[in-house]
Chain A
Amino acid sequence: MTDLLLLLPEIVLVVMALSLIVVARRVERAQSAAIFTVIAAAAAIFAGWAFSGAGPATGFGATISGDGYAQFFNVLFAANLALAALLSVKHLDAEHVRPAEFYALLLLSSTGMMLAAAATDLLVVYLGLELMTLCSYIMVGITRDRSISNEAAIKYFLLASFASALLLYGISLAYGVTGATDFQAIASAASSRGLAGHPLLLVAVALVAVGLAFKIAAVPFHAWAPDAYQGASAPVAAFLAAGSKAAGLAALGRVGLIAFAPEQRVWAGILVGLAALSIAGGSLLALSQSNMKRLLAYSSIAHAGYALLGLVSGTPDGISATMTYSFVYAFMTLGAFGVVIGLGERGEDLAGFRGLAATAPGTAALMLLFLLSLTGIPPTAGFAAKFGVILNAVRSGHLVLAVLAVVCSVVSAFFYLRVAVYMYMTEPQGVAPGRLPAEVSAALAVAAFLTIMGGMFPETFTAWTVPPS
C-alpha cells in the first residue's frame, strides 16, 4: 500500500482530471478550469514534497522509483502544467473549445510525463510516454474546425506512432536478449552474463534511442515538430515544447545511465550524433522562419541538441547538467510562447512584433529577456544552463561538439535577435496591442523570475538536480 505514496503526484493529477471530466458539462469558462488545474499542479508538487522519503525507494515490483530524479521532474512537469493552463485560458475562450476536456487532457498528459520520469522499467517508460503522447494528439487537433490543426494532428499522430512502434520494438528486443525490462536487470544481465555487445542488444539500444529521440524532436527525428507546433494552438505548442522534451530527456537520462550503462559507448555515440545534428539543423533551419511558432519549434529542436550534450558523458554530473537545461529551457520557452500568446493573432507572425517596444515596452522587455536566454547570453538562465552542458561535453572529451555548439549559438543569435530588431528597431504598425491578460502576465512573471534567478544564481537549480540512482 505504501507503494502508492510514490505515485501521489500522479494520483492527484488523475483524480483532478477525472473530476473535471465528470463536471465537464457545467464548466463554461476556461478561467475556472484553469484555476482548478493550477491548484492540481500545486497539490501535486506539495504531495511530492511532503511525502518524499515516506514511501519505499522503489515500488510496484521495482518499476517505479521515488528518487530525487523523479521528484525533480515532477516539479518541472507540474510547473509546466500550471503555466500552460494559465496560458491557454484566452485561447480556449476565443476558439470555443470545451475547457474541461482540454484541461483534463492537459492533466493526463502531465501524468504520463511524470510516469515516464519515475519509471525504472522500460514498459512503464513506454506507458508513460504513450499516455503523454496520446493526449497530445488530441490537444494538437482540438480546434476541430481548423484544417491546419487537423493536418498537424494527423502528421503528429502518424510519425509519433511510428516512433512508438520503434521504441516498443527496441524494448522487445532488449527483453529477448536479457529476459528483463527492468533497468537494473537489463544492466546486470548485460554485464554478468556476457551479453554486452550482443548484436541484438545493440539494435535494441539504437531503437530505444531513436524512439526517445522522436519525443524530444532531435534531428533527424524532428520532422513532426514544426508542423505540429504551427498547427497546434500556441499554448499547446508551448506545453509540448517544454514538457514532451523534458519527459523524453528524463527517460533518456535514466535509461542511459542505468539500463544501457554496459553499452555506454554505443549509446553515447548515438547521442553525440543526435546532438550535433540537432544543434546544427535546428539553428540553420530556424534562420528562414517568419512564423513565430515555427521559429520556436526549430529553436526547440536545437535546444534538444544542447540538452543532449549533458548526456553524452554518461556521468551523474552530466545528467545534472541536462536536468538543469531542461528545467531552464521549459521556462524560457514557455515565456517566449507566453508573449506570443499574449499578443494574440499578431504574435504568431514575426511582423506582428514590429515596433512592439514603442507600444508595449514591458512586453517587449520580457520577450527580449526570453530571447537572450534562448540565445544563451548572460546573465540569463539560458547561459548558465548552456555553460553547464558544454562544460560537460568538454570534460568528456567532445571538444569539437562543444565548438559546434557555441558556433551554432551565434547562428541562433541571428534569428532570435531578429525578433528583437523587429521589436526595437522598426516602426509600429497598426493598432497597439492591448494589455496582457492577467493569467498570461502571471505565467510570464514566473517564467521571467526563474529565467533571471537561474542566470544570477545558477546554483539554485543545480542543488535539486539529483541524478537517478
Chain B
Amino acid sequence: MTTYPILSVTTFLPLVGAAAIFFLNERLARWIALATTLATLALSVPLYLQFDKASSALQFVEVARWIPSWNVSYGMGVDGISLPFVFLSVLMSVLCVAVSWTAVQTRVRDFYAALLVSETAMVGLFAATNFFLFYLFWELMIVPLFLLIGVWGGPGRTYAAVKFLMFTLAGSVLMLVGLIALLYLGNTLDFQELAGATRLNPTAQAWLFVAFLAAFAVKVPMFPVHTWLPDAHTEAPTAGSVILAGILLKMGAYGFLRISLPILPDAVQLFLTPMLVLSATAIVYGAYVTLAQTDVKRLIAYSSISHMGFVTLGIFTLNRNGVEGAILQMVNHGIVTGALFLCIGMIYERTHTREIADYGGLAKVAPIYSTFLALFCLAAAGFPGLNSFVGEFLIISGGFKARAWLGVMGVWGVALGTTYILWLYYRVVLGEVRPKLRELRLDLNLREVATLVPLALLVLVIGVYPEIVLSFLRASVTQLLGAVSGAGTVGRL
C-alpha cells in the first residue's frame, strides 16, 4: 500500500492551500488554488488504483487517538460506497477553480480560500469513519458555501444564503442531538462499531431516525424541505452551484447509506412507506415544477429535486438494483448536473442573462458549446448509452421489484425529465439566433473546453461501461443490504 496517510493528505491539503492563499498575494490566488486542487487529485489517484474491490471492509484506514473522554478517535477510511464520492469531490474542485478563472473578479483570494475549505469538508465527510468526524465536516461545509452564495452570488444572494444556512443548520442540530443520544446509548460513534453492536430498541431507533432524517432530508433535499434549493442553486456563483449540485446534495443521501440504513435498520423498515412516498412525490412534483421554469439555472435546480427523488427512491427499495442504481445515480447526477451548471455559467459570463427567452439559436453562433450542451442534456434526459440511463434503469427496475407503483412513478418521472430537458435544449440552442446574441463571442475557449472534457468523458465511459463504478460498489452494497435485511421483515414489502 501507499506510504503516506493518503486520505488525510487528500482531505487536508486543500486546507493548507486555503491558508496559503489567505496569507499570500492576491494575484497568486488562482494559481495556488489550481495547483492545490490538481495536487489533491493527483495524490488521491492511488485510492482508485489500489482499492480492493472484492472487499467490503474499510480500506486505507487511519486511526489516531483524539478525544478519549468521549470515546471518539480520529478515523479515516473508504469503502466502495464512499470512494466514488471522494473522486467526485476532488475532480469537481479542480473544475470549479477552472470555471471561476475569469468569472470571479472580486475578492478573488477569499473566493478560492472558501472553495478550498469546502473541498476539505467534502472529502473529509466521505472519508470519515465515525459520526463525530462526519458531523464536523458536515458543518464545516456550511460556512464556505454560505459565503460562496452570499458574496459572489446573483442579485438575490443574501436571501438565498441565509435561507440555505438556516435550513441546513436547523436540520443538522437535530442530527447533533441524535448523535449525542447515540453516543450516550451506544458509547461509541464509530460507524462500524455502531452497525455491529447489538441493535438499539426500536423506539430509540425511530427517534434517532427522525432526528437524522431532519438533517439528511434537508441536504438531499427531499420534498417538502426542498425550498432552499432553487434559491441557493440559482443565486450561487457557478462554482457554488456545481458544488451544491455535484457534492452537497449527495451528502444527505450518503448519510442515509452510511448511518440510517446500517445503524437503524428497524426504523428504516418502520418508515419505509413514507420515505418511498416522499421520494416518488419528489420525482413527479419536481419534474412538473421544472417544466414551468423560465430561468435556466432554476430549471436545472428543480430538475435536481426530481433526480434526487430517484436516489432516495432507490435507497429505500432496499434491494440490490435499487441501492446500486441510487449510488450510481448520485455519481451521475453529480457529473451531469455539475456539467450543466458549468455550461450555464460559461454562457452567463458572456450574456449576463439566465432567462430562457433571451436565448435561441446558439447552435449557429456557438457550435462547440452546443455540442457539449447536447451531450449533457441527453445524459440528463437518461438517453441510453450515456451515464444516467444506467442509474435510472437500475432504480426503476429496483422500484418495480419492491412495489410496482414505484416503478410506474419512476417511468413517469423519466418521461417528464426527457420533456423538460429537451424542451430546454430546443429553446436555447435551436431555432433562430437572437439578434442580441450575434454581437457576442459566444463559443468556448480552450480553458472552458478543457473544463468540460473530463465530465464529457465520464458521461460516455460510465454510459458504455457502468461496471467501472458498479464494480467498486458491489461488495459494500452486499454488506449494507445484509445489515438492513437482518431486521425483521424483508424482501417484498
Interface flags, B10-24, vs A, CB<8A=1, else 0: 000000000000100
Assess whether B70 is in contact with A417, with CB atoms less than 8 Å apart. no
| B169 engages A459 (CB within 8 Å) | no
- For A261-285 the 0/1 string (1 means CB < 8 A from B) is 0000000000000000000000000
Interface pair A406/B136, CB less than 8 Å apart: no
Measured between C-beta atoms, what is the minimum distance from B389 to chain A in Å?
A: 39
Q: Does A378 interact with chain B (Cβ within 8 Å)?
A: yes
- State whether the Cβ of A413 lies closer than 8 Å to any Cβ in chain B: yes
Chain B nearest CB: distance from A355 CB in Å?
A: 11
Cβ of B180 and Cβ of A410 under 8 Å apart?
no
Of the 9-residue stretches A31-39, A141-149, A289-297, A357-365, which lies at the interface with chain B? A357-365
B interface footprint on A350-383 (CB within 8 Å = 1, 0 otherwise): 0000000110010001001000100001110001
Residues in A whose Cβ lies below 8 Å from that of B450? none
Q: Mark B124-139, 1 if CB is under 8 A from A, else 0.
A: 0000000000011001
A406 to B162 CA separation, bound complex (whole angstroms): 18
Q: How many angstroms from the CA of A424 to the CA of B147 in the assembled complex?
A: 7
Q: Whose C-beta in chain A lies nearest to the C-beta of B157?
A: A425
Stretch of B171-179, B370-378, B430-438 with 4 or more beta carbons under 8 angstroms from chain A: B171-179
Judged by DSSP, the binding face of A is helix
> With an 8 A cutoff between CB atoms, is A432 at the interface?
no
A376-404 contacts to B (CB < 8 Å): 377-379, 383, 387-388, 390-391, 394-395, 399, 402-403
Cβ-defined contact, B181 with A377, below 8 A: no
Q: Does A200 belong to the interface (CB within 8 Å)? A: no
A458 in the interface (beta carbon within 8 A): yes
- The proximity string for A residues 436-466 relative to B, scoring 1 for CB distances below 8 Å and 0 otherwise, is 0000000000000000000001110010000
A237-280, CB under 8 A of B: which get 1 and which 0? 00000000000000000000000000000000000000000000
Q: Least Cβ distance of B64 to chain A in Å?
A: 11
B110 partner, pick from A357, A391, A417, beta carbons under 8 A: A357
Instruction: Check B147 against A414 for contact (C-beta < 8 Å).
Output: no
For the side of the interface on B, what is the size category? 35 or more
Residue pair A410, B142 in contact (C-beta under 8 Å): no
Count of A residues near B, CB < 8 Å? 35
Q: How far is the CB of B433 from the nearest CB of chain A, in Å? A: 37
- Once the chains bind, are B69 and A406 in contact (CB under 8 Å)? no
Shortest CB distance A455–B (Å)? 9
- Check A203 for interface membership: any CB of B closer than 8 A: no
Interfacial residues of chain A within 420-436, with CB under 8 A of chain B in the complex? 420-421, 424-426
What are 23 A-B contacts with C-beta separation under 8 Å?
A357-B110, A357-B151, A358-B107, A361-B107, A377-B139, A387-B180, A391-B183, A394-B180, A406-B174, A407-B173, A410-B166, A410-B169, A410-B170, A410-B173, A413-B169, A414-B166, A417-B162, A421-B150, A424-B147, A425-B158, A458-B70, A459-B66, A462-B69
A-B pairs with the 3 shortest C-beta distances?
A406-B173, A425-B150, A378-B136
A contact residues vs B (CB 8 Å cutoff): 357-358, 361, 365, 368, 372, 377-379, 383, 387-388, 390-391, 394-395, 399, 402-403, 406-407, 409-410, 413-414, 417, 420-421, 424-426, 457-459, 462
Which residues of B are interface residues toward A (Cβ below 8 A)? 22, 66-70, 107, 109-110, 135-136, 139-140, 142-143, 146-147, 150-151, 157-158, 161-162, 165-166, 169-170, 173-174, 176-177, 180-181, 183-184
